[in-house]
Amino acid sequence: MLAASVPLWSQVNPAPDATATAPVTDNSPAADAAPVPTTADDRMQTPPTVSGAAYPTTYTSEQRSNYLRGGLTFSTAYSDNVLVSASGTPLSDVSYLVTPSIALDQTTSRLHWVFAYSPGFTFYQRDSSANQANQNLSSSFQYRLSPHVTLSLRDSFQKSSSVLDQPDLASAGAVTGSAQGVTAVVIAPLADQLTNKGDVEITYQFNANTMIGASGTFTNLHYSNSAQVPGLFDSASQSGAAFYTRRISKKHYLGVTYQYQRILSYPIGEQSETQTHSVQVFYTVYLQPKLSLSVAGGPQHSDVNQSPLPSASAWTPALTASMGWQARRTALAASYSRIVSGGGGLLGAFHSNSASLSLRQQLSLNWNAQASGAYSINKTLTPLFFLSSPGGHSISGSASIQRKLGQHMNAEAGYTRLHQSYSDIPAISTAPDTNREYVTISYQFTRPLGR
């Protein structure tokens, strides 16, 4: 839907991020009354707390634009929890993944857009009935509608039998600084599923140090075969936010945001709905141009409706904190949130505490290391609702090492550990642990555009 809307803005005046060419100064009387930025350094950044974008996982030395990139990846993995037998014993298997890919990144004085597509084909050695054709598609568009108004659109779609069977696990678990659109997530070891997430954001910097903005996020999760995931359900969410921020010095931003979220879960013949409203004060400091720390907090009100039970409401504190750092050889991001959330396969509303970490480090010219981890605790907000899940907790971690074999060839080896504790979900409770080891060989090429 977002991609189809691109031609509608083909005649506006968009532009890339804050590192791009400075906008043209507005010479109207209104501009004289309210000074506006005239250089790239004067332009304000959108604080991570109110931006739907994930922290970058690339080094500053890898940042480039105007290119076409393609490649082919072959990966083999061993997992000790692919399926669960009738006796409740997890079954292991070896899988093979073939993934071609293509990506385009183009920047002009008015537009920055990125498109990436990566289909995949997964084959299992023992259980051929679990073979799957995967789809991974993402797009991002950023326009300068006027010298001081920027519109951003992002969308990602994934069709897969397992979120663990991905060529880039770090990208799959991207770290964000905003709690908008965040839902509780339970990982099924093997289940055909469709996931989609879209973001739209518009910002207006109406003077040198003040910005306002609004955003919306939409997510969907659909299990193609509910028999594969007993205890888990389809879900969807819609959220919206508006914010005001003031740059009180070159490095310090202070602001306030209002966020609304509607989360739906779909058990058979029923529907569970959770609505939340929150007002939070946020603060961001840019210690360096590519190093930021953010924190936000405030009250959150939630309403839970689950027919045929009466509705329930509550006031709870909400808190988010995050940091992101990009250096020449390091990319680090971390986040923590305490909010009321739901969805992600679960039924009901939950007090959710979650933390995530992503680290990528260049060890030498040809060696890179990467690690990521996540932890979450979900406790039901409505313990008296007999249909709701009581909740549980999960912890996961992944580590890998990459080696360049030449100008176009790369090799990678890694390990992933996943533990989930949800006693009321048969798809997980009988086999809560998953260990996965994998080896990947890839070929990639890059071609400049417009030269």
SS3 assignment, position 422: coil
pLDDT attached to residue 94: 93
| Cβ burial, residue 436 (10 Å; 0-12/13-18/19+) | buried
Which among 422, 43, 62 has a CA at the least distance from the CA of 253? 43
Q: What's the pLDDT score for residue 377?
A: 93
d(CA 397, CA 255): 34
Provide the strand spans (E) within 53-164. Answer: 67-84, 90-107, 111-117, 120-124, 132-146, 149-160
Residue that has been written with the tokens 């009935």 in this structure:
129
d(CA 181, CA 240): 8
pLDDT for 168 = 55
> What contacts 24+ positions apart, CB below 8 Å, involve 78-81?
78/436, 78/437, 78/438, 79/164, 79/189, 79/434, 79/435, 79/436, 80/433, 80/434, 80/435, 80/436, 81/189, 81/431, 81/433, 81/434, 81/435
Res 331: pLDDT: 93
Peptide bond between residue 119 and the one before it cis (omega within 30 degrees of 0): no
> Could you tell me which of 424, 358, 432, 369 has the C-alpha nearest to residue 397?
358
Is residue 33 helix, strand or coil? helix
Q: Which residues does residue 236 pair with via DSSP β-bridges, in sequence order?
A: 220, 264
Residue whose C-alpha is closest to residue 393's, from 186, 163, 179: 186
Which residues share a beta bridge with 69? 103, 446
Q: Are 93 and 83 in contact (CB under 8 A)?
A: yes
Can you give the pLDDT at residue 2?
A: 41
Distance between CA atoms of residues 113 and 142, nearest Å? 6
| CA atoms within 13 A of residue 149's CA, in its CB half-sphere | 7
pLDDT of residue 130: 80
> Contact at 8 Å (CB) between 181 and 53?
no
Residue at token pair 């108004």: 149
d(CA 49, CA 53): 10
Residue 407 gets the label, from left (phi > 0), alpha (psi -120 to 50) or beta, of alpha
Contact in structure between 314 and 381 (CB atoms under 8 Å)? yes
For residue 240, give the H/E element and its range: strand 234-247
| Residue 324 CA neighbour count, 13 Å, CB half | 22
> How many Cα atoms within 13 Å fall on the side-chain side of residue 234?
17
Continuous segment of H or E residues that includes residue 171? helix 169-172
pLDDT at 57: 84
**Digitized pLDDT (tens) for each residue of the chain, 451 residues in all:** 344 443 333 333 333 343 333 333 343 333 334 455 545 557 889 999 998 788 888 888 787 788 999 999 999 999 998 876 666 678 889 999 999 999 999 998 889 999 999 998 989 998 888 888 889 999 999 999 988 999 999 999 999 887 776 655 444 457 888 877 667 678 877 788 899 999 999 999 999 899 999 999 999 999 888 888 888 889 999 999 999 999 999 899 999 999 999 998 887 667 788 999 999 999 999 999 899 999 999 999 999 888 777 888 899 999 999 999 999 999 999 999 999 988 888 888 889 999 999 999 999 999 999 999 999 999 988 877 666 778 899 999 999 999 999 889 999 999 999 999 998 888 788 888 999 999 999 999 999 986 5
pTM: 0.83
> Residues 368, 339: contact at Cβ < 8 Å?
no
